[in-house]
């Protein structure tokens, strides 16, 4: 059980949450965080650089148990399109900070063994998303200001994710049970998104129908400021250059509207 995390700590100085997370950090280290887990991630030999990849993060039987929990035990919003459930802190896209109105939500039991152990502490925010066939997520970067590390686990049916920079678009096939870490250029300087469509055309020309997909994205709050300086994609660079909040990261806002 994680220690008492209440809404009051949300009125915190930036790093207080890291200290309050101490009990779970202890459990985390005991699970063998570090180099062994990191060695299982291999960088994809493509542009954008910085996509670290691990196939078979979990076994197919485990995946089936999770999908059964997602289908039968969770309460999803009652609407069509991509659906999201949040755990940990909830981010407020109006203030670009943790939403003090929404209390910290403990990670459920089924999530515990799915947390990457390659960071020094557990993530601050986890988002479970369901994509019915035909659903997608607009091209975006996950905001640089609040978030540092970013991982995504794919479950259920495969789908194509597109990374984009300028006129260049690169397809990455997100196969089930793969865990991806976005680092470097892939994290900061290319957008990523999933087209809203019912089929994906693979590199060999095969047309693959979409089916239900779940993803789990993991985010760690940043200590200090992002210094990437990318005026087009970085909310910190935009703020420093006097670009109003409302005009910042429009793509990101759209992606996280649900
Ligand atoms: O579904 C995914 O794998 C990634 C979703 C995503 O880009 C996000 O939630 O920011
Ligand atoms: Fe994203």
Asked if residue 192 has its Cβ within 6 Å of ligand 1, the reply is: yes
Residue 186 has pLDDT above 80, yes or no: yes
| Lateral strand order in the sheet of 213-221 | 42-43, 51-54, 179-182, 147-156, 213-221, 125-131, 83-88
Residue nearest to atom 1 of ligand 1 (CA): 215
Rounded to the nearest angstrom, the gap between the alpha carbon of residue 143 and the centroid of all alpha carbons in its chain is 11
pTM (two decimals): 0.85
CB within 5 A of ion ligand 2: which residues? 142
Residue 224 has pLDDT above 60, yes or no: yes
Please give the distance, rounded to the nearest whole angstrom, from the Cα atom of residue 25 to the centre of ligand 2. Answer: 25
Closest atom of ligand 1 to CA, residue 193: 7
Asked if residue 157 has its Cβ within 6 Å of ligand 1, the reply is: no
When pLDDT is averaged across residues 210-221 and rounded to a whole number, the result is 97
Radius of gyration of the chain (CA): 18
Please provide the DSSP assignment of 64-93 as one string. HHHHHHHHHT----SSSS-EEEEEE--EET
Identify the structural domains of the chain with CATH numbers, from first to last.
35-255 (2.60.120.590)
What is the model's pLDDT at position 165? Answer: 98
Please give the distance, rounded to the nearest whole angstrom, from the Cα atom of residue 215 to the centre of ligand 1. Answer: 7
The ipTM is 0.99
Helix extents (H) in 73-148: 109-112
Rounded to the nearest angstrom, the gap between the alpha carbon of residue 49 and the centroid of all alpha carbons in its chain is 18
């Amino acid at each position: 059980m994680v220690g008492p995390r209440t809404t009051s700590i949300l009125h915190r100085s930036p790093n207080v949450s890291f200290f309050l997370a101490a009990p779970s950090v202890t459990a985390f280290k005991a699970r063998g965080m570090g180099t062994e887990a990191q060695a299982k991630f291999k960088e994809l030999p493509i542009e954008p650089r910085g996509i670290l990849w691990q196939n078979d993060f979990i076994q197919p039987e485990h995946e089936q148990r999770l999908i059964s929990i997602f289908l039968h035990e969770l309460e999803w919003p009652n609407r069509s399109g991509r659906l999201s459930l949040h755990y940990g802190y909830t981010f407020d896209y109006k203030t670009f900070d943790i939403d003090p109105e929404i209390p910290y939500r403990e990670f459920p039991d089924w999530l515990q063994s799915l947390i990457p152990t390659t960071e020094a502490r557990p993530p601050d925010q986890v988002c479970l998303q369901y994509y019915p066939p035909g659903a997608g997520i607009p091209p975006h970067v996950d905001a640089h200001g609040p978030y540092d590390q970013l991982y995504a686990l794919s479950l259920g049916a495969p789908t194509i994710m597109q990374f984009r920079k300028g006129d260049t678009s690169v397809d990455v096939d997100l196969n089930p049970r793969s865990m991806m870490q976005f680092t470097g250029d892939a994290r900061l300087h290319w957008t990523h998104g999933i087209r809203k469509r019912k089929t994906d055309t693979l590199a060999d020309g095969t047309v693959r129908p979409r089916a239900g997909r779940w993803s789990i994205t993991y985010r760690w709050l940043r200590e200090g400021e992002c210094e990437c300086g990318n005026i087009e994609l970085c909310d910190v660079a935009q703020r420093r250059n006097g670009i109003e909040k409302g005009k910042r990261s429009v793509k990101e806002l759209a992606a996280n509207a649900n």
